Amino acid sequence: MASSHTREALMSRRVTVGAPGLLLLLSLFTCLLRCALCAKASNVILILTDDLDVELGGMTPLKKTQALIGDAGATFSHAYTATPLCCPSRSSILSGKYPHNHMVHNNSLSGNCSSKAWQAGPEMQAFPVYLSKKFYQTFYGGKYLNQYGTNETGGVGHVPPGWDQWHVLVGNSKYYNYTLSVNGKAEEHGDNYEKDYLTDLILNRSLNFLDSRSPQHPFFVMLCPPAPHSPWTAAPAYQNSFVNVKAPRDGSFNKPGKDKHWLLRQPVNPMLNSSIDYLDNAFHKRWQTLLSVDDMVEKLVKKLQDIKELDNTYIFFTSDNGYHTGQFSLPIDKRQLYEFDIRVPLLVRGPGIKPNQTLQDPVLNIDLPMTILDIAGVNISLVDMDGQSFLPQLAPSLRNGTSRPYFLVEYTGEGHTAKDPQCPKLGPGVAECFPDCVCEDAFNNTYACVRTFKDNDLQYCEFADDEAFVEVYNMTADPHQLENVVKKVDPALLQVMNQRLIKLQSCKGDSCRNL
């Protein structure tokens, strides 16, 4: 009764009200047109793993990911992070800026990790803000920044601008027993596999998001699983996988870092057996956790097929930084300037990208947001970021452009002012001294490097320590960086590299790209 009454009312309005009815029709038409135009923009998915290397074979367990993203699109052989540590690197991915411009220097609040200054500054102009203005429906699931959710910075109630759906981990990577911010409300999780396993949970939430989205707008999904970060908790089905796999013994494994900066001259060489056992255990457990990520990718691609969006979706798969297990006798971690820590996997599939390509062009994590905004149709010449779109490399039929000849990697070492009570023989100023009191970081592990490709395949690094230490590697002759050639190369070349470094260390926006 009620509905027929309403219909009658509508009908009578349509016949009696002429001019406003026309206006209504007109606005309906323009709305439909706008929706039709925006529906043409492609969807984007960004999968950001935590500490996944490429040098140590980190992609090996990810067979389905390789097939469904890499083989269906492009694999970059020279993808790098602008800084090899979680919070500064993730801040670079969100803001598109080098650390000297976003000013997130380490994993602590005092180093600006998810701090009030970050929230009031770079986070306000992070790339999802631009996507949201382009009517993208946005979803974030998993780890954000290591200090996210701390009470000093607004707790779980803080939801950064640009996100429609926010299912984000409080603090650093965990697989069980964590708190999530679900759109600003705390949600506690225990350790029941079916209910709580974080990699599976964020996948499930993203699938729900895809089912409940409004199909006339494009979507952006960012999935940040804890894998393969410690504590390396595998799903029950994978707890017996790879148990006999050991860390690779080639390259710089268990080599002394004798011609390198102070921190690299400290580790015991050869390594203690207990350190080797520790890193082998970590190595196979890392791989176990990746099997759930591989399932995530498979299920996501299947869902895109089911909702008929696969052909209109770009999928990016990458990591915040690399990793090492025994390289130069450092047991496990990241934070070093060497390829194993700064080089990351990067696979991309999507419209206009030919399958089965390996691209040699150097790309940086600060390029990810510019590339995504380029895909979304944002006028990126007006976006204040240091990176550049690599859509021209991915899909030359869609864009023209060349990649940069060299770039900057910068890192601020972490340390503790007090001595480590577990390691009484060590002085203050060091950090991450385990296992066996081998330290992975120090205040003076603060460096900036230029990595050049076009004229020379070279890495040049300067340390902010009291030796003003310099390391130089010929990457063609010595891909494992075994020999620091600073005393052998032409001093004129060192001067050129030093000048490039100085310019890059204060670059901003265009001056980071126009080299």
Ligand X SMILES: *[C@@H]1O[C@H](CO)[C@@H](O)[C@H](O)[C@H]1NC(C)=O
87 catalytic residue (yes or no): no
The residue type at 296? M
Q: DSSP assignment of 96-161, as one string?
A: ---HHHH---SSSGGGTTT-HHHHHTGGGGSHHHHHHHTT-EEEEEE---TTTT-GGGTGGG---T
Give the nearest distance from C-beta 249 to ligand X in angstroms: 12
Asked if 244 interacts with ligand X (CB under 6 A), we say no
Q: CA nearest 475: which of 493, 461, 457, 492?
A: 457
Asked if 315 interacts with ligand X (CB under 6 A), we say no
Asked if 228 interacts with ligand X (CB under 6 A), we say no
Size of the site for ligand X (CB under 6 A): 31
Q: Are 148 and 114 in contact (CB under 8 A)?
A: yes
Asked if 121 interacts with ligand X (CB under 6 A), we say yes
Tell me if residue 47 falls in helix, strand or coil.
Answer: strand
Stretch that binds ligand X, among 89-97, 196-204, 398-406, 501-509 (CB under 6 A): 196-204
Give the nearest distance from C-beta 122 to ligand X in angstroms: 7
Q: Which of residues 31-90 bind ligand X (CB under 6 A)?
A: 71-72
Q: DSSP assignment of 269-322, as one string?
A: SSPPHHHHHHHHHHHHHHHHHHHHHHHHHHHHHHHHHHTT-GGGEEEEEEES--
Q: Are 463 and 447 in contact (CB under 8 A)?
A: yes
Build a one-symbol-per-residue string for 326-365: x at contacts with ligand X by CB under 6 A, - elsewhere.
Answer: -----------------------------xx---------
Alpha-carbon gap, residue 228 to 238, rounded angstroms: 13
Asked if 200 interacts with ligand X (CB under 6 A), we say yes
Positions of E strands within 381-438: 406-411, 430-433
Pick one of 125, 150, 183, 312: the residue that binds ligand X (CB under 6 A).
Answer: 150
Pick one of 111, 160, 350, 429: the residue that binds ligand X (CB under 6 A).
Answer: 111
- C-beta nearest to ligand X: residue: 111
| Beta pairing, strands 137-142 & 165-169 | parallel
One of 31, 35, 38, 86 is an active-site residue; which one?
86
Closest CB to ligand X among residues 196, 339: 196
Close Cβ partners of 186 (under 8 Å, ≥ 6 residues apart): 155, 156, 170, 179, 180
Q: Which of residues 411-440 bind ligand X (CB under 6 A)?
A: 414-415
Supply φ then ψ for residue 341, to 5 degrees: -95, -30
Tell me if residue 253 falls in helix, strand or coil.
Answer: strand
Asked if 280 interacts with ligand X (CB under 6 A), we say no
Stretch that binds ligand X, among 35-43, 199-207, 343-351, 391-399 (CB under 6 A): 199-207
Asked if 123 interacts with ligand X (CB under 6 A), we say no
Site of interaction with ligand X (CB under 6 A): 71-72, 103, 105-106, 108, 110-112, 117, 121, 149-151, 155, 170, 176-177, 191, 194-197, 200-201, 204, 273, 355-356, 414-415
Q: Which residues are catalytic?
A: 86
